[in-house]
Amino acid sequence: MICTQYDSPVRAFRADFAGEYISASHRLFLADQGTLPQFSCPGAHAQNGAAGRKHRHILETSCFTTLL
């Protein structure tokens, strides 16, 4: 069984719709472990989280101030 560092089982496996994660053998392995596979929709755009927005803001702000 797959467990985390706190000895609790992995309940869900989230990934994009990449080829290495959608194979039948990988889905069978997750089913054997009792893990629910969750995939994003094919063709959906990736969405940046809060960390990505903050990083982009810092980069844009620093680039803007160096131009002045």
* Assigned domain for 21 exists: yes
* Assigned domain for 8 exists: yes
Domain count, the chain: 1
* Assigned domain for 19 exists: yes
* Assigned domain for 58 exists: no
The per-residue pLDDT for range 42-58, each reduced to its tens digit, is 766 666 567 777 878 88
Half-sphere exposure of 35 (CA within 13 A, CB side): 21
* Assigned domain for 51 exists: no
Query: Which of the four pLDDT bands, split at 50, 70 and 90, describes residue 12?
Result: confident
* Assigned domain for 52 exists: no
* Assigned domain for 67 exists: no
Amino acid at 68: L
Residue 29's domain spans which residues?
1-42
- Are the CB atoms for 40 and 16 separated by under 8 Å? yes
Q: What is the DSSP string of 12-25?
A: EEEE-S-GGGSSHH
* Assigned domain for 65 exists: no
Query: In DSSP terms, which residues pair with 36 in a beta bridge?
Result: 12
Q: What pLDDT is recorded for position 2? A: 61
